[in-house]
């Protein structure tokens, strides 16, 4: 039995919307779980030093979603920045105290003839050389960096040389003295 070919049915064209009417908001995707209460929570977490990965885990979202929230909700983003700066400043103060040494109140608990005795005293933590070097390299890098610039001749001689002269010196290498290229008067 042969089938009859079906007639193609034409769908009527939709009427174009006037340009004055705003488009309806697209409701694609799942609704956001973000609430304004997250601002206070994220502020406390960041003051404790939480990273973006830890924040995303706390809110049960992906890191990408956290980045979207930062872009979409300015108060959320500001809370992360300000609390993060607070945590950084705390670490900076701790590093400084570790670098210069510090004293703190401590209590030693002892048992003498069956009685518990608490003895208050001052504990001193001496300066830490590694912390001091780290502090100085970051705060006074020009004076404390590991790499030093060594020039032969007067300071800045290489800054005034042409590319050809510098290339000639580089090709010579090995510390050997080589005659300058023809027509050059800057090399001695």
Question: Which pLDDT band, with edges at 50, 70 and 90, does 188 fall under?
Answer: very low
The predicted structure's pLDDT at residue 87? 86
Evaluate if residue 48 carries a pLDDT over 50: yes
Query: Tell me: the pLDDT tens digits for 128-155?
Result: 999 998 888 888 888 887 776 666 666 6
* Range picked from 12-26, 56-70, 164-178 for highest mean pLDDT: 56-70
Domain boundaries, the chain: 34-100
Whether 114 has a pLDDT exceeding 80, the answer reads yes
**Stretch 165-187: mean pLDDT, rounded?**
64
pLDDT at 37 over 80: yes
Helix axes 38-47, 74-100, angle to 10 degrees: 10
95 has a pLDDT exceeding 70: yes
What global pTM score does this model have?
0.49
If we measure between CA atoms, which residue out of 160, 161, 181 comes closest to residue 171?
Answer: 181
User: pLDDT tier at 185 (50, 70, 90 boundaries)?
Assistant: low
Tell me how far apart the alpha carbons of residues 73 and 84 are, in angstroms, rounded to a whole number. 17
């Amino acid at each position: 039995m042969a089938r009859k070919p079906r007639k193609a049915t034409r769908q009527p064209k939709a009427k174009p919307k006037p340009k004055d009417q705003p488009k309806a908001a697209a409701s694609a995707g799942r609704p956001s779980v973000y609430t304004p209460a997250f601002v206070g929570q994220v502020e406390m977490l960041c003051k404790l030093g939480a990273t973006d990965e830890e924040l995303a885990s706390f809110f049960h979202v992906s890191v990408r979603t956290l980045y979207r929230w930062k872009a979409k909700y300015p108060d959320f983003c500001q809370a992360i920045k300000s609390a993060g700066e607070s945590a950084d400043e705390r670490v900076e103060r701790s590093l400084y105290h570790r670098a210069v040494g510090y004293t703190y109140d401590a209590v030693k608990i002892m048992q003498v003839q069956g009685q518990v005795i608490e003895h208050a005293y001052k504990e001193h933590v001496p300066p830490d050389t590694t912390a001091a070097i780290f502090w100085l390299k970051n705060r006074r890098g020009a004076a404390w960096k590991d790499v030093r610039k060594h020039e032969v001749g007067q300071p800045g001689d290489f800054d005034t040389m042409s590319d050809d002269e510098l290339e000639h010196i580089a090709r010579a290498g090995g510390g050997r003295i080589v005659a300058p290229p023809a027509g050059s008067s800057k090399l001695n």
